[in-house]
Amino acid sequence: MFRQLLRLASVALLSLSTTAARYPSFGTLTTNTSAGIMNVVINNTFSTINVIDFHVLADLANLIEELQRNDTDVRVVLFSSANTEYFTSHLDLNFFLPGYQSPLPLFDPENPQRPFPVSILYNITQLPQATIAIVEGRARDFGNELLLAFDMRFALNSPSVQLSQFETSFGFNPAGGSQILAQSLIGRGRAFEYSFSAYNIDAVTAAQIGWVNRAFDTKSELYGYVQALAERIALFPPAGIQATKKGINAVSLIPVDAWIQQARNILEVLAPSPVSQALLKKFVQATNNQTIGPVDLNYGDGNDIVQLL
């Protein structure tokens, strides 16, 4: 049934408009550009937990295309969230459940072998701008992978900041996520600890081990530091930003083919397995289809995993 869905989705994409923006716009990203700095506020008004559903993915895909074209007016991009509890929660888990009809293709029309969410993450890592996340709330699963796809991450020391890769608890793996963590941020031992356990990490610990760049005790310190950093980088020649980015990417990212292969294995083999299907359904039900509430808010706190619901 899952493979059927993929085929349906591939057909669906043919009917998409190819003018201005490639995908329909859903208004989940508010942008505001000034003096070389674009502020992007993530606000999925279709979700109480800023879930990354097709609305956000479509808006991100359109934004990426805009940023790819505009590498001189915009030199730095800041991402933050309008949701006080979530930077972005996780992927809409309905993607993995049968019967879900995605209004978007599941594979990138430009790279038909590449799952659409991988394209989003990979393309973010390749943007010609410096990209920075300002984190005041939770980011788990694909939400944390999105954080890791940005160049830098600065977090508020707040109980709302809980980052995790929880995929193992559902029977699959955090493909790009745990690999960027292991290869370039927190090392093999800690990537195993957090990826295997689905434990949350708080802002201060995340800064100690390198998961985020820095943690700040107050919003004013957080925004003050990031704003000064962004204004400074925005003064620099785009050619310098882009060459620096290429150089660092070359030594700190998994090859995109490995990323694609693992993501396809998740989509086509692991997530469709009976054990994962049962866990995903249980979670979606227990969270009232991923609306705000204790199960989603506390997932990964030590007691509250899908196996214990």
Residue numbers 235-274 binding its own copies by CB under 8 A: 235-237, 239-241, 243-248, 250-254, 258, 262, 265-266, 270, 273
Instruction: Single out the segment in contact with its own copies by CB under 8 A; choices: 11-19, 27-35, 82-90, 171-179.
Output: 171-179
Question: Per CB under 8 A, which of residues 103..162 are in contact with its own copies?
Answer: 130, 151-153
Q: What are phi and psi of 261, to 5 degrees?
A: -60, -45
Is 170 one of the binding residues for its own copies (CB under 8 A)?
Answer: yes
The residue (of 21 and 254) whose beta carbon lies closer to its own copies is 254
Nearer to its own copies, 26 or 166 (CB): 166
CB 168 within 8 A of CB 196: yes
Region of 5-13, 53-61, 81-89, 190-198 interacting with its own copies (CB under 8 A) = 190-198
Residue 204 is a binding residue for its own copies (CB under 8 A): no
Coil/strand/helix, residue 138: strand
Rounded distance between C-alpha atoms, residue 309 and residue 307, angstroms: 6
Question: Judged by CB under 8 A, does residue 223 bind its own copies?
Answer: no
State which residue, 86 or 172, has the beta carbon closest to its own copies: 172
CB of 140 to its own copies, least distance (A): 15
CA distances, 179 to each of 187, 203, 253 (Å): 9, 20, 8
Q: Judge contact between 268 and 3, C-beta under 8 A.
A: yes
- Site for its own copies contains 8 (CB under 8 A): no
Within 8 A by CB and 6+ apart from 149, the residues are 120, 121, 122, 124, 125, 131, 176, 180
Candidates 6, 16, 41, 209; binder of its own copies (CB under 8 A) is 209
Site for its own copies in 50-109 (CB under 8 A): none
Q: How far is the CB of 188 from its own copies (least distance, A)?
A: 4
Give whichever of 26 and 259 is closer to its own copies, judged by the CB atom. 259
Query: Residue 224, interface with its own copies (CB under 8 A)?
Result: no
Residue 304 has φ and ψ, to the nearest 5°, of -115, 75
Tell me the C-alpha to C-alpha distance, in Å, between residue 282 and each of 53, 90, 142, 285, 306.
19, 16, 19, 5, 7
Question: Rounded distance, CA 109 to CA 229, Å?
Answer: 36
Interacting residues with its own copies between 276 and 295 (CB under 8 A): 276, 279
